[in-house]
Structure 1
Amino acid sequence: MKAIIYEAYGPPHVLQLKEMPQPVAKDDEVLIAVRATTVSSGDARMRALNVPYGFGLLSRLALGVFAPRTKILGMEFSGVIAAVGAKVSKFEVGASVFGMSPTFGGCYAEYRTFPESGPLAIKPSRITFEEAAALCFGGTTAHDFLRRGKLQRGERLLINGASGAVGTATIQLAKHLGAHVTGVCSKANLELVRSLGADAVIDYKAEDFTRNGQTYDLIMDTAGTAPYARVKGSLRSGGRFLMVLGGLPESLGAVWVNMTTDHKVVAGVAKVLPEDVRLLAELSKAGTYKSVIDRTYPLERMVEAHAYVDEGHKKGNVVITV
């Protein structure tokens, strides 16, 4: 099978198209013929080992000290089940599915195996494989942070970095939960953010939301440009700061904030639960939640796709067709 592999950390050109052995499903696994995957910010960071400040050594220990331990990137996928293991009962050959592989990657390939009990769901028939592949990275991250932040109906939420994969997902899920949502992004993306349901939008170049006198029950930072120290004055008493992206000093500082103030910092890697992926499938089927796709590339143009994501200006998701 064709696959994109990387054997060294670095810029996009470390990615290479090669022929690899096709995997075989174990008894509790399904074999998926991948139709689409994505280039998430997480994929780009792992490829370049470009991680938030202070996490370099920990990342090398997890991913491979001198070279990547797992050669195939790609966390999201959609496709068709090509074979099932002897003990699989929930899925059948020919079923269209989508899912998320947060730890082991492996989706930049024509085939991949996946545990039946993992974050896997039937693809809604109303959406394409490309749309399905882009549901999970932003959706599961948004849902986990909103859950841990205990967002309540009627609360005010501000999202810094509202036009990326996590931001566009958070707008939709927060509106579904009944929140008032303010999105912060560039001028070019204001209409996109508004079209997804944001009640208010702010051009970060024209207005500093931390100085406009507005306060919020929750502030989410998906871009790493609005740490707690900057936004604490915009949080109401009992407010929660959702730190999707931050360095080690900010993560350690969260403990102190939680101990000494009436604010709460929610940080750490988002959990990807099978039931969350199934929920995204239900919301997508109902038309309540959709993926936002910026650009689509074929597998053979993976280097170009990663280079575009590295620029840091993508709207929603970048999709790869396989």
Structure 2
Amino acid sequence: MLRRSVSVLSSKSFEYAAVTKKRRIKSWQLHEYGGIDELQLGSIRLPVIRDPNEVLVQVNAASVNPIDLLMIGGYGRNLFQIQRNFENELPLTVGRDFAGTIIAKGHKVRDGMKVGDEVYGFIPLHKQGTFSEVILANACHVLPIPKQLSSIESTSLVYATMTAWSALFIFGNLVSKQTDGLRVLILGCSGGVGTAAVQLLKSQDCVVFGTCSSDAVSLVYNLGADCVFDYTSPDFHKNVELEGRYHIILDAAQIGYQNIPKSWKYDTYITLNSPLLKSTDSYGLMAGLAYSASDLLDANLRAYKDSSCVKWGFFIPSTRGFEFVDDLISKEKIKPVIHKTFGFGKLQDAFKTVSEGHLRGKVVIDFSIDNDCNE
């Protein structure tokens, strides 16, 4: 039914609004915050293009990110509501990246982007997400799928690599630094963001160190890491210390600057687990912002004694950043690492896999599979 609808819409491009009320698609939605069981697969109306810069995309694949798991529980709802202009937050579709086919476009979308094009991209955190058969995306967050990759491989790279880029290039200021020989330690280098960060840094000629469990060491070395520390080793803390001072420590494992040994030396510690969204959820907007600012100030007062600093890293929906990342992906300097693929009907199982942790790359949803997961 959906594919017949798509063929009609494709031929009419933007002139589809009159028939949207009769078109319905499948979408995973939350009607209240809670656990994974709150995700419900239902039928909704086909989205309508209201912004002339948007494209309508039939989704072929999307990946599951830790932020999706957090948002199911209501994470970030207070700050995201400001960006949503206080529109109804529920029902909510999560999912941040996608690969698929353009089936309609707004009249301001560039001529080079056509109906029928295979594309991949991302959706900002405050927007309705990608676990839906058809989605709306801003054209500036969409690019053609790299020729050497499938939809599943493409979507596995988007959000994780953009998160790594945001943390390192924006918050770590690699945009303006000499990266050749820069020493970077990645905590949790075998997960989605970690594997992306290893490859991103090696493409810039950095010296890359990483931490992971013993069963992932060979994987990370194969991605190009210069030195990998097995955190199950009894000498783990000492081995990290003996390598000397790091220009950057990227915490992709939610360890926390306060929990690493004081003997580890670094210039900048970047955490992807800031208290900002959690604090505004718990204490309200103003009190949460004040609490978070106090936490960051306290962290830097402590780090200052060792000529260090602590920064929060966030995903930034940057068009230039995505173009930079896309160029590296197209040149095969960043390759997909996929932990497991599930069918569209098994989204809850995919979330459970992500919640269990110890991933080796990304968990991806294949929309062409409705029932069983690929083993």
Same fold per TM (> 0.5)?
Answer: yes
RMSD of the alignment, in Å? 2.2
Q: Partner residue of 1:129?
A: 151
For residue 221 of structure 1, report the CA deviation from its aligned partner: 0.9
Cα displacement string for residues 30-64 of structure 1 (whole angstroms, at most 9, x for unaligned residues): 11111110110110111134x5xxxxxxx342357
Secondary structure of 2:260's aligned partner: helix
Farther off after superposition, 123-132 or 136-145: 136-145
Say whether residues 1:230 and 2:230 are aligned partners: no
Cα displacement string for residues 209-238 of structure 1 (whole angstroms, at most 9, x for unaligned residues): 4433222221111111242552553224xx
Tell whether the 8 Å contact from 1:166 to 1:222 is kept in structure 2 after alignment: yes
In structure 2, the CA distance between the partners of 1:10 and 1:179, relative to structure 1 (3 Å rule), is: same
Say whether residues 1:205 and 2:235 are aligned partners: no
Q: How does 1:1-322 map to 2 (within 5 A)?
A: 1-26=25-50, 27-49=52-74, 59-62=76-79, 69=90, 71-89=92-110, 90-103=112-125, 104-117=127-140, 119-147=141-169, 148-151=171-174, 152-207=179-234, 209-212=236-239, 213-215=242-244, 216-228=246-258, 230-236=260-266, 239-247=267-275, 248=292, 251-257=296-302, 261-322=306-367
Tell whether the 8 Å contact from 2:36 to 2:351 is kept in structure 1 after alignment: yes
- Give % identity: 30
In structure 2, the CA distance between the partners of 1:268 and 1:146, relative to structure 1 (3 Å rule), is: closer
- The structure in which a higher percent of residues are helix is 2
Letter of the aligned partner of 1:277 in structure 2? F
Larger radius of gyration: 2
Letter of the aligned partner of 2:135 in structure 1? R
Farther off after superposition, 262-271 or 177-186: 262-271
Q: Partner residue of 1:54?
A: none
Distance, in Å, in 1 between the alignment partners of 2:186 and 2:361 is: 14
Distance, in Å, in 2 between the alignment partners of 1:20 and 1:144 is: 33
Tell whether the 8 Å contact from 1:218 to 1:235 is kept in structure 2 after alignment: no
Distance, in Å, in 1 between the alignment partners of 2:366 and 2:130 is: 11
Letter of the aligned partner of 1:33 in structure 2? Q
Cα displacement string for residues 129-158 of structure 1 (whole angstroms, at most 9, x for unaligned residues): 001111121111111222132342102111
Tell whether the 8 Å contact from 2:274 to 2:313 is kept in structure 1 after alignment: no
For residue 206 of structure 1, report the CA deviation from its aligned partner: 0.9
Farther off after superposition, 252-261 or 136-145: 252-261
Farther off after superposition, 143-152 or 70-79: 143-152
Distance, in Å, in 2 between the alignment partners of 1:320 and 1:86 is: 31
Distance, in Å, in 1 between the alignment partners of 2:256 and 2:300 is: 18
Distance, in Å, in 2 between the alignment partners of 1:278 and 1:207 is: 42
Letter of the aligned partner of 1:87 in structure 2? K
More contact order relative to length (CA 8 Å, sep ≥ 6):
1
Distance, in Å, in 1 between the alignment partners of 2:328 and 2:183 is: 22
Letter of the aligned partner of 2:113 in structure 1? F
Secondary structure of 1:181's aligned partner: strand
Distance, in Å, in 1 between the alignment partners of 2:243 and 2:356 is: 31
Distance, in Å, in 2 between the alignment partners of 1:261 and 1:81 is: 52
Secondary structure of 1:3's aligned partner: strand
Distance, in Å, in 2 between the alignment partners of 1:293 and 1:63 is: 29
Unaligned runs of 5+ in 1: 52-58
User: Normalising by the residue count of structure 1, what TM-score does the alignment of the two structures yield?
Assistant: 0.89
For residue 6 of structure 1, report the CA deviation from its aligned partner: 1.0
Could you list the structure 1 runs, at least 4 aligned residues long, displaced by more than 4 angstroms after superposition.
257-261
Distance, in Å, in 2 between the alignment partners of 1:312 and 1:251 is: 27
